[in-house]
Amino acid sequence: MYNIIEVIIMAIRDRGKIKWAAAYLQPEQAKMQRDFWLDTERRRKSIIDEHEREEFDLRIIYSMEYNHSVKLKVWDDGFTYDINGRVHYVDPITHELRIEVKPGEFERVVFDSVVGVKVMD
């Protein structure tokens, strides 16, 4: 037979580690925390002098002339990302590059957001 203490202990069902896990009751709280950590990853835009800008232009012209692909490093709102493709058109009016990422698929990149150009072929 069981004594009374053993019966009480068997009746208690513990949740284990779950009771110590943080619970987000509000989705806004989780979003604020994600945004906070995202903001800590942001970087300032690097300063591009005239010499670097001219070198970028020469690399773009070279890649267009010989139909080589380029790898552009683009700065956008504190983050940099790469775009690989061929330069299809340089628009002097809107100050944009049209990059053919895939056959028939184009991306537009503003001149001022380019922080690096590398000719791939």
pLDDT at 7 over 60: no
CA pair distance 5, 18, nearest whole angstrom: 25
Going by C-alpha positions, the residue among 44, 54, 36 that lies closest to residue 77 is: 44
Report angle CA 80, 118, 63 to the nearest 5 degrees.
125
CA pair distance 121, 63, nearest whole angstrom: 9
Q: What value does the mean pLDDT of the chain take?
A: 85
Whether the CB-CB separation of 53 and 116 falls below 8 Å is answered with no
pLDDT for 80 equals 92
DSSP 69-91: EEEEEEEETTEEEEEEEEEEEEE
Q: What is the pLDDT of residues 41-63, one digit of tens each?
A: 889 988 999 999 999 999 999 99
pLDDT at 1 over 70: no
pLDDT for 21 equals 58
Query: Hey, what domains does the chain have and what are their CATH numbers?
Result: 50-119 (2.30.30.520)
